[in-house]
A and B are shown apart, each in its own frame.
Chain A
């Protein structure tokens, strides 16, 4: 007779085997020393673990009574009211809030991944350092945080990531954000500023100076983090360890229209933040950031690892990567449980319209992103997608 599997023996030991199989396994174990030994190991181990798990119960569990369901409902209501107030924050502001800051730090890494597929001649020209990545288009990879990391796993991962980022990422700002007039914006040499025409509301302009982000990669630390998060099959290139990666962020121009005032105090230390008091339409524009990294880095492997983190299998990541120009594409990860998106034509190119999935506001918030002539644009506000596209198409 064929030996029962370890799983069948486990099920037998736990009295959970189908009635028809119990007798068959029992007879086999009586006549098979090998299976009898396996069964003994399983039952001994089970007894040992059971006694250890028993330590999790204690006398206070019997004595303690949790608050009543009615009291729990009241606490739930208070928490929901608080969340509802927070939901009133404009989407873009929410995204740039402290909670999501690690996600944007992660985006820096995403941009680093964009260094992939560098051809040898170009690499030779670049010498020891590469300075090649420029955003020309945006590609969205929607992922399901719950499916990838389990319930609550995304928040936990973000928290872990924040710790690692604190140690490995340095941000240097070249100045403080400041409110400026239209003339100053028009006179900027680093970017030809475009502004919407015919939009309602008094404009406010803010200029965020350039910033430099440097990442010194501690590979063992990152690998430990991945293991902690349950990723056991993601390979990162060894050459990444100790690598210095630099991201240069160009000045960011922000124009806000409507019933709002810029809150520049909240901007300090958070390049890219759009913090305005009140609901308004906000247009951001920035020349594409550049990423520099050491030569010889296997960025294609890195790119595929990144896609695996978002839930793709190794094979899927490889196939997806084949169709992606990493040197020119900003791969934007969007949690599909939080937002939905559509691709559409805007400003003569293909853009991405992103909306929150659980919007409890009477009108929809939106974020519209597109890239044209080396400039990355982001438009956020409240209203329909059509209205968003009209504003974007009106840029001078």
Chain B
């Protein structure tokens, strides 16, 4: 196996740059932006809950597409889902280190939007924060699978986006859901414990 590892290194270090190192042609980038920009922004908004941050992240996703496009350009859509959900989850993980953010953001939004029922809105914000905290704490691939499933992707699409065997999607989803529920309950129990 060591030999295999070394061979892999040698290949990667060779002079022949892989196809993915080539820039995506301008017209293909334009086409990708026309077709997928709004969807990528929405996907990221679901995760981070802030339009400005979602668009910043989306720009980074398309920058990556421009500089390091997938080898198979037929799979740009699947590639974008994968990279965008990863970028969003990474942003959530980084946010975990700024724990007061969610609360502050929630309060700010309440003041700005002046909702009809502030209590319901506050509860919804707390639910969102909890779901995001759990996704951020889960194993990255499980969180990604779960998020994309609930975004509406079919099993076939999940297999394509996450480059996994179609037959293993159900098993992986069952594990991811179990992990989500376990962590969610742990957070609830912690919150319910008298201080």
Contact = CB atoms under 8 A, between A and B. Distances in A.
Contacts of A80: 63, 66
B114 to A, nearest CB: 13
Contacts of A184: none
A53 B62 contact: no
B63 A163 contact: no
Contacts of B2: 316, 319-320, 323
Nearest to B10: A142
Contact of B181 (A7, A49, A75, A159): A49
B108 interface: no
Contact of A230 (B139, B156, B181): B139
Contacts of B30: 69, 73
Interface residues of A, number: 64
A199 interface: no
A307 B98 CA distance: 30
Interface residues of B, number: 71
A46 B177 contact: yes
B170 A72 contact: no
A49 B59 contact: no
Nearest to B115: A59
A78 to B, nearest CB: 9
Contacts of B37: 66, 69, 72
B86 interface: yes
B42 interface: yes
B105 interface: no
Contacts of A66: 37-38, 41-42, 51, 54-55, 58
A341 interface: yes
A61 interface: yes
Chief secondary structure at chain B's binding surface? helix
Contacts of A313: 1
A19 B146 CA distance: 24
B22 to A, nearest CB: 10
B140 interface: yes
Interface in B56-115: 58-60, 62-64, 66-68, 82-83, 86-87, 90, 93-94, 97, 113
Interface of A: 5-11, 14, 16, 42, 45-46, 48-50, 52-53, 55-58, 60-61, 64-67, 69, 72-73, 75-76, 79-80, 140-142, 144, 150-153, 155-156, 159-160, 163, 228, 230, 232, 312-313, 315-316, 319-320, 323, 336-337, 340-342, 357-358
